[in-house]
Amino acid sequence: MYKIKTPKILFLALDIASFYKRSYYNTNDLAELANKYKKDLVRQRVDKKDYKYLGDTNFGGLRGNFSTLLTWKGFVKRGATIVNYCSVGRDGRLVNAVCNGEIILDRKDLTANTNDRKLKKLLEIESWLFYVRETQAHIKNMLKNNPEIPLFRDNANFPKESVVISKNGQYFIRALVNNFVDINNTILEYSIINLWEGKKFKKKNMHLMIVLPTISNPWEEIYFIKNEELYKIKPLLLRIDLADRVCFDENGNRYSLYSLDTAINEFSTGDENIQERLNYNWKKLRDSRCKEESSLKEPREDEFSVFLKKFLNWKKEFSVGDKKIVDVLVSSSSGPDVNLKLSGGTIQRLELEHSWKSYLDHGHYKDNAWSNSWLFSEEEFDKIKILKLFSGLNKIHHDRIPNIFLCLEGDKRKAYMADWKVV
């Protein structure tokens, strides 16, 4: 048995897992559930019902601490309101494991106990990520302990934000560590909604500061990205390949990482880019990235999480015919979502979709970036539907039409190989 000591807020989030009504939730949801179902763990006050938790009197309220714990997934419309939606961990596995009895929580020592080595690793990663987020949030302490870094907090303009200013007048805001997006924990995702939300960008022309942590040092390396590069696309999430220090967004657009010296000497100051700031509209950006949430239907998980849980069953090795796949890697370039590494060392690209039709709706069959790719859908295997959608298109679009379709048939993996020459 593995016994993992967890941060108090992670323990609380997992302890109320059986009361979650949806796959994704936000800090308000969890604070409400904690106060409703775990009053014995939550220290309450009459004037502020979510003030403290687990007898801890050194830190702030539940909402603030849940925001440090959760992985941000995006925006969702609930009725007429647009809210954040999040998850505990990269996907739903930790929550499901608690509900299924694969993880048993022990209140005596705030530990999570499991026999599963992979769950142990996930718990350790989430505990470490919480430590990183919590430590990086205290930017004043970092600057105090590193006086050689010529950055200063702008408490007058941004008293509650991780915004710093250089001696030359450049403004930087810290990107928020979100979670790893690949099974090998080598690609770290950051949320940068704090750059775009509200009126901060209108108040000051602001660039992005990204901190790369290590196991022993949450402030190991600091890089900077020009706002002029980000403003063209306005991504909400950025990813860093920790192996080669490449930065890109969900759609494969790349962004240059700069050193502090370069940022101070070459970046625009806080008073520049006036026209862009006048034209910028946070509400319009937020609304354009918002998903609908029906009261009867949960928001869908991202395709990679579905592929990871349902098809791979949390294992990276499988076979398709005589082809043996030994590793599954999230693609860091434009084109199909995933690279499958075959036993011979070659790479097979795989596109992930919620439905077969989505491949066509997204226009992938018109783009050579999807040539010779395979296709996965979370739809149940339906040969007639696949043939109806794709048959005949190969005569026009050739190898941009997949011939290997991965899916599930019942609870078993299915790989359907279409022979377009005879169909």
What residues contact residue 300 under an 8 Å CB cut-off, 6+ apart? 306, 354
What value does the mean pLDDT take over residues 351-373? 85
Instruction: Quote the distance between the C-alpha of residue 339 and its chain's center.
Output: 19
Other residues' Cβ atoms within 10 Å of the Cβ of residue 101: 8
Q: In the chain, what are the domain boundaries?
A: 1-135, 138-291, 303-417
CB neighbour class for 103 (10 Å; exposed up to 12, middle 13-18, buried from 19):
buried
Model confidence pLDDT, tens digit, residues 67-107 = 899 999 999 887 778 888 899 998 888 998 998 889 999 98
3-state helix, strand, coil split of the chain in percent (to 5) is: 30, 30, 40
Nearest of 207, 195, 212 to residue 246 by alpha carbon:
212
The tens digit of pLDDT for each residue in 118-157 reads 999 999 999 999 999 999 999 989 999 999 999 999 888 8
Unique residue bearing structure tokens 């794709």 = 390
Which segment of 275-279, 291-295, 379-383 scores lowest on mean pLDDT? 291-295
Beta-ladder partners of 414: 407
- pTM check: above 0.85: no
pLDDT at 163 over 50: yes
